[in-house]
A and B are shown apart, each in its own frame.
Chain A
Amino acid sequence: LKCTEKYVYYLSFQSKSDIISTVEFNHTGELLATGDKGGRVVIFQREQESKNQIHRRGEYNVYSTFQSHEPEFDYLKSLEIEEKINKIRWLPQQNAAYFLLSTNDKTVKLWKVSERDKRPEGYNLKDEEGRLRDPATITTLRVPVLRPMDLMVEATPRRVFANAHTYHINSISVNSDYETYMSADDLRINLWNFEITNQSFNIVDIKPANMEELTEVITAAEFHPHHCNTFVYSSSKGTIRLCDMRASALCDRHTKFFEEPEDPSNRSFFSEIISSISDVKFSHSGRYIMTRDYLTVKVWDLNMENRPIETYQVHDYLRSKLCSLYENDCIFDKFECVWNGSDSVIMTGSYNNFFRMFDRNTKRDVTLEASRENSKPRAILKPRKVCVGGKRRKDEISVDSLDFSKKILHTAWHPSENIIAVAATNNLYIFQDKVN
């Protein structure tokens, strides 16, 4: 699909006043999970396509809602731990139930989401409302039977992985062995086994012996999609390290080190801040990694460490506004980036509820907007354009009119189809490509 093909906006959900903090499709694309600032997880499920409406793609409806994390208080440090969900990652489906990991700043939880459509009836000791019966009234015994009931979806916490992170967790990643996963905070990365909650292995530790020497933090981490011994992590200095867990138990020494030399003509006081990587993602093929820094998205070939193979400008018109963006802290915003299923198109968010797509093959790009005012259900999204200077055309928007409070930090792409989920503050938008 060429990325400049129009997308049809067909559905929008608004969660109750909480800002969406993470969005993730599961491995089949049947489910879409969102996490929000209030610690809630909302899961959407795609409708089965009916034979009668063969041209209408399945829509996503709410499937399950649950409170994943609650605010906590750390008594020793006298600190409140936010309940905001930083990341959700799905496990591949192995039976009828669905499993996902959700994490806040300190604690990772494994949730099981399962359906119940039968209910046992005919207990001996309880009546139909569940009240205990007087044993004296029981004169016969019977075997309870399962009877159909309305479908109920329930979420239960199966594991709680706590007390392993001193700093704030920014990433979790499920390993391709499906037995382990990692959690990364500002200075450390831990490896967990799903079955063991009271123990984790520290595999990366960049905390200096003397904290005065701290100049760099970990910003994101991810396992290779196929090689269970390989993972990458990015830093606030714009570097990516690829590590092999077979080399040593503590992967402080990287196998590969990716960094692009600084462009001297673009040097400013803010060079380091804008080079800080906010997201790193392996391609589905495992051959490339994509990184997002403040102004660009870069694609790297794992076999070439000295520079990216592709660089895409997300909103270069902000380069001359860095001082203002530093003043209002927008320069510290952490945007994510995603691949489409075939690794041919990449997508990331921007300000003013804009999001951008780049087609790696045709080198064409498009800017779209996620907003209710500009989209009606079933309407085709219109490409947007930001006017940098000089004459502004009719449909263009000038840089100075951009709304920086409307930032799209989180997006997700269906694993095999052209369906995208875009989180705009507390609204979730789902778009899919036009069906003729």
Chain B
Amino acid sequence: MLSKGLKRKREEEEEKESLAVDALWLDPGHAAVAQAPPAVASSSLFDLSVLKLHHSLQQSEPDLRHLVLVVNTLRRIQASMAPAAALPPVPSPPVESSMADNLLASSDAALSASMASLLEDLSHIEGLSQAPQPLADEGPPGRSIGGAAPSLGALDLLGPATGCLLDDGLEGLFEDIDTSMYDNELWAPASEGLKPGPEDGPGKEEAPELDEAELDYLMDVLVGTQALERPPGPGR
């Protein structure tokens, strides 16, 4: 199975990570190791957290606890790095100042955007795939996830073929699922909007701070994912 391959790779990485622990001790005097309330986090801790978030978002089914903890930690780090600046709203353009600030602002907004899009995906996917979850008679009304959940619930039992016959079409279904892999726009300006479709691609041309290595890595992820996915359907 295709996703199986993806998942096994991740497991091997995990094992390598956990076994190669001895080599990863940081200098105890590292700026990010805080005994007292830290004034500012080092940028390496920020980068590390962004990397973890990126890695987590790449999963076909992210560990929600891990994701939430990393995001909350990242927000804390960001807050300490730029305490005066309010977190910019999603559609606003990046701040016109030093490169670091630019990266920070766009990362933060894009972070919110990508988090939002991922969690939206999770929510939407859940709405599509959730089997009929019969509530108690006295259960609170209006708790169905997405308007389509009750009627689509039975589709879960009927298999993939029927699952494709959705109102918003085959492309809509897979676009939502795929978006979580494409939408790691941690470096793209937020002005692109919350949830660009796959045809937009990551806005590399508008994020000059994105370096070659990150670009290659992102492309590998996309190409690797595409190679594993089914052949593109109509409209993709």
Contacts and interface: CB of A to CB of B under 8 A. Distances in A.
Nearest to A331: B69
Interface residues of A, number: 57
Contact of B64 (A167, A202, A400): A167
A261 interface: no
B163 A75 contact: yes
A400 B25 contact: yes
Interface stretch (B30-38, B98-106, B216-224): B30-38
Nearest to A250: B140
A332 B145 CA distance: 29
Contacts, number: 158
A322 B25 CA distance: 10
B57 to A, nearest CB: 13
B68 interface: yes
A361 interface: no
A267 B28 CA distance: 17
Contact of B139 (A201, A270, A329, A405): A201
Label chain B's interface by main secondary structure.
Answer: helix
Interface string A319-337: 0111110111110100000
Contacts of B32: 269, 323
B72 interface: yes
A186 B128 contact: no
Contacts of B37: 264, 267-268
Contacts of B64: 167-168, 186-187, 214, 217
Interface residues of B, number: 70
Interface in B101-140: 112, 115-116, 119-120, 122-123, 125-126, 128-131, 133-136, 138-140
Interface string A67-100: 0000101111111100000000000000000000
A249 interface: yes
A219 interface: yes
Given A321-B25, A324-B26, A405-B19, A76 B68 contact: no
A163 B134 contact: no
B36 A265 contact: yes
Interface string B30-56: 101111111001000100100010000
A217 B68 contact: yes
Contacts of A167: 64
A1 interface: no
Contacts of A212: 112, 115-116, 119-120
Interface string A250-280: 1000000000000011011110110010000
Given A217-B64, A272-B72, 15 more contacts: A75-B159, A76-B128, A79-B60, A201-B136, A211-B120, A214-B64, A215-B72, A216-B68, A267-B34, A268-B35, A269-B41, A320-B35, A324-B25, A328-B20, A330-B18
Interface of A: 71, 73-80, 163-164, 166-168, 186-187, 198-202, 205, 207, 211-212, 214-217, 219, 236, 249-250, 264-265, 267-270, 272-273, 276, 320-324, 326-330, 332, 400, 403-405
15 contacts: A73-B4, A166-B126, A212-B119, A212-B120, A236-B69, A249-B139, A250-B140, A265-B36, A268-B37, A273-B73, A321-B25, A323-B30, A324-B25, A324-B26, A330-B18
Interface of B: 1-4, 7, 14, 17-22, 24-26, 28, 30, 32-38, 41, 45, 48, 52, 60-61, 63-66, 68-69, 71-73, 76-77, 80, 112, 115-116, 119-120, 122-123, 125-126, 128-131, 133-136, 138-140, 143, 145, 155-156, 159-160, 163, 177
